[in-house]
Amino acid sequence: MSDEKNLSDDLNDMLGDAKEGAKKAADKAEKFAGEAKEKAKEFAKEAKESASEFTESAKETFASGDNKKILAGILAIIFGWAGVHKFVLGYNKEGAIMLIASIILYFVTCGIGTTAIWAIGLIEGIIYLTKSDAEFYNTYQAGKKPWF
C-alpha cells in the first residue's frame, strides 16, 4: 500500500506541477497577447497618421500648383512638336529627343516629317487633359512615366 500511496502522491505532485505550469503559460500568453494588442494599436495609430500626412501633402501639392496637368496638356497640343511639355514635366532627355527629331525631320523631309512628332505631342496633350488630377500627378509627376 505504501507503494500505491507514493505513486498517488507522485501523480498528485505531477498534476499540481502541470497545473502550475499551465497557469504560468496562460499568464505569459495573456501578457504576450496584451503586448501584441498594444503594439497593434500603436501601429494602427501610426498608419492613420501617415495616411493623414500623405493626404494633406497631396492636397497641398494640387493646391500649390505643383500639378502641371493643364500647363503640360496645353503646351503638348500647341508646341508638342518641340517637346516643350516634356521639359515642363522634367523629362529633359525626352524633350530633347522630340526637339532634335523635329528639327532633323523638318530639314530632311521639308517639314512633312514633323507631322509625326506633332501628332505625338497632340496625343499626349489630350491624354494629359483627360486624366484626373490625381491620376496625372501619380502617373507623370510622381511615377515619372515619360511617354504616353
What does the pLDDT read at residue 74? Answer: 92
Tell me the per-residue pLDDT of 122-131, one tens digit each, with 9 for 90 and over: 999 999 999 9
Q: Which residues have a Cβ under 8 Å from the Cβ of 91 and sit 6 or more positions away?
A: 144, 146
Question: Do the beta carbons of residue 133 and residue 57 sit within 8 Å?
Answer: no
Q: Is the dihedral of CA 134, 140, 142, 145 positive or negative?
A: positive
Q: Exposed e or buried b for every residue in 96-131, given b needs 16+ CB within 10 A?
A: ebbbebbeebeeeeeeebbeebbebbeebbeebeeb
Using 50 as the pLDDT threshold, list the residues of the chain that sit under it.
62-65
pTM: 0.52
Tell me the per-residue pLDDT of 99-115, one tens digit each, with 9 for 90 and over: 898 889 888 888 787 88
